[in-house]
A and B are shown apart, each in its own frame.
Chain A
Amino acid sequence: MQRYLFTRVIQSGLLMLGVLVITFFMVRLTGDPARTMVPRDASPERVEQMRVAMGFDDPLIIQFARYVGGAVRGDFGQSLHYRAPSMRLVLERVPATIQLTLAALGFALLFSVPLGIIGGSRPGTIWDTLARGFGLLGQTVPNFWLALMLIVVFSVELRWFPTFGRSGFASVVLPAVALGFFPLGQFTRLIRSAVLEVRSEDYIRTAYSKGIEEWQVLSRHIFRNVSITLVSILGVQFGYMLGGSIYIESIFAWPGIGRMINEAVQARDFPLVQAIAVFSAGFVVVLNLLTDIAYALIDPRIRYED
């Protein structure tokens, strides 16, 4: 177990170093980062000014050392747009994004767990069809379009929820539903197939034959197995939702990092973009590490491997 933990921590560290390499070269893809960071119609003087200000004249290796050195201390330079330290700006926006992500996750679990379990334990019934239907819809309905349609129906027509902003419970409902729709589908599919698979195991048949009530079998044997599946994809889901929040937060004017990415990209504020990218990747890497540890704790088979 300790050796497993140690390797995973080292791996995560290497991964973060790799993320720094990628984000460093990401803004240099066109070969001229100074040009990238000014508006398209900027004068040559303006470009030159930017080149000097950002130190793009120095040898690449020096620039990289400076970037990594700063990143380790949490310093990603000044945001070009806000004229403030980039990482501080990112951290200010994090709570809103976490709130939205958790709300979306909660929405997804609230519907997918019952739907997946009932669908999986009664194959061929209307519940099963419903579970499969939602599983498919989650994959095929784009969240940015769903968000717009939710606004049309629930804000413009019915006036149940506000169109945008972050003010109390009502304002989080529509963005959470839009962002949580994809995980809802994925969870439903996973839970349904996990239940289907577990159902045919010998120990479940034994449990039934001992006369144990169905809900007890479900909660004690099946749900425990399903929770392992869920935990294992939680990290991946967070990464997805961070991405999805770019649309959802922009549409609902939700003051989180998703909206900030969109704004920073439109304003060509790349120091800020780098800070967001490193933060988001770091968040996902740490989350995956924690998931793996939790996974190892739940599932003894992993704990005793190698």
Chain B
Amino acid sequence: MRIDALDQENVRSPFQRALRIVLRDKTGLIGVFLFGTVLFCAVFAAYIVPHSPIEQNLRISRQPPGWHEAGDWEYPLGTDNLGRDMLSRIIYGSRVSLTVGFFGVLIAMSIGMLLGLVAGYLGGTIDNVIMGVANLFLAIPYLLLVVVVAAVLGRSLINVILIFGFTNAPLFVRITRGEVLRIRKSGYVESAVSLGAKPGRIIFGHILPNLIGPLLTVATFEMSGMIFYEAGLGFLGLSVPPGIPSWGNMLAAGRQYIQFSPWIAAFPGLAIVFTSLGMNLLGDWLRDVLDPRMRRSAS
């Protein structure tokens, strides 16, 4: 009976397993829903916004949300200090956040995976040098590094992406290297080596496929982290130029009016919480699906 159950577990495809875990663990489903909503907003922003996100109308500036007695459902989340529709700006803001998060992680993961593979596989001096530099960057308070570099380079979307991509790479180097070392010690790699498999075959056939699970999980959490940090930079006036609707820029503007018009700061922050909640739930779920060693944590 017990052996049967184990067998069944093994014949399931990853897709079936994913489906089963989603159904068993409702939080994964919530994560998919939250993240899906944000992704939808980012992709179809131009078609779903009720108003222009940049057009100013000072006659209706700082109008409270629709449910407020002074509000108007024409602007469901109210308007900002320049009379721009909050809802439309939040929808457009998701584009900046997801772009920075996605490309930032892509760069960080590419650099980190490459260097981590080299360090973990070759070992020796190269390993020491790569890990020395990685640990060095991890020793500096991350936010400080990011803030200073952003201030030196100036406000632009490309700069922000590059900053996150490069400063986040050491984390991926460390994780990749750790996984490579673990996988190299495993029985199946040892037997492949003793059967005469060449390094290329071991790296591409054995190590890389096993790296994808853990790295993808970390990538989800890191992407959520970058969305956080981008908003933080925007809050300090160091992210994308002020004309672009981003959650951080909106927060920075809202801060000035916190006393009498708190919704201007409240809603972009809620959007960040919404997104990061989705990505964290998604990450937990991915870990359960992709990383068998962690699976018991789901129960």
Contacts and interface: CB of A to CB of B under 8 A. Distances in A.
B144 interface: yes
A158 interface: no
A35 B2 CA distance: 71
B232 A247 contact: yes
Interface bin, chain B = 35 or more
Interface residues of A, number: 46
A26 B149 contact: yes
B270 to A, nearest CB: 8
Contacts of B285: none
B265 A148 contact: yes
Given A148-B251, A148-B255, A152-B262, A242 B132 contact: no
Contacts of A216: none
A162 interface: no
B262 A243 contact: no
Interface in A254-287: 261-262, 265-266, 268, 270, 273, 276-277, 280-281, 284-285
B207 to A, nearest CB: 27
B139 A14 contact: no
B211 to A, nearest CB: 24
B172 interface: no
B60 interface: no
Interface string B123-155: 000000000110111011111110111011100
Contacts of A290: none
A270 B153 CA distance: 13
Given A156-B258, A277-B140, A144 B147 contact: no
Contacts of B235: 144, 247
B176 interface: no
B255 A246 contact: no
A229 B14 CA distance: 33
A110 B262 CA distance: 30
A242 B141 contact: yes
B239 interface: no
B26 to A, nearest CB: 13
B272 interface: yes
Interface of A: 14-15, 18-19, 22, 26-27, 29-30, 36, 136, 139-142, 144-145, 148-149, 151-152, 156, 193, 239-240, 242-244, 246-247, 250-251, 261-262, 265-266, 268, 270, 273, 276-277, 280-281, 284-285, 288
Interface of B: 132-133, 135-137, 139-145, 147-149, 151-153, 224, 228, 231-232, 235-238, 251, 254-255, 258-259, 262, 265-266, 268-269, 272-273, 276-277, 280-281, 297
Given A136-B277, A266-B151, A273-B148, 10 more contacts: A18-B133, A19-B136, A19-B139, A145-B273, A151-B258, A242-B144, A243-B142, A244-B143, A247-B232, A277-B148
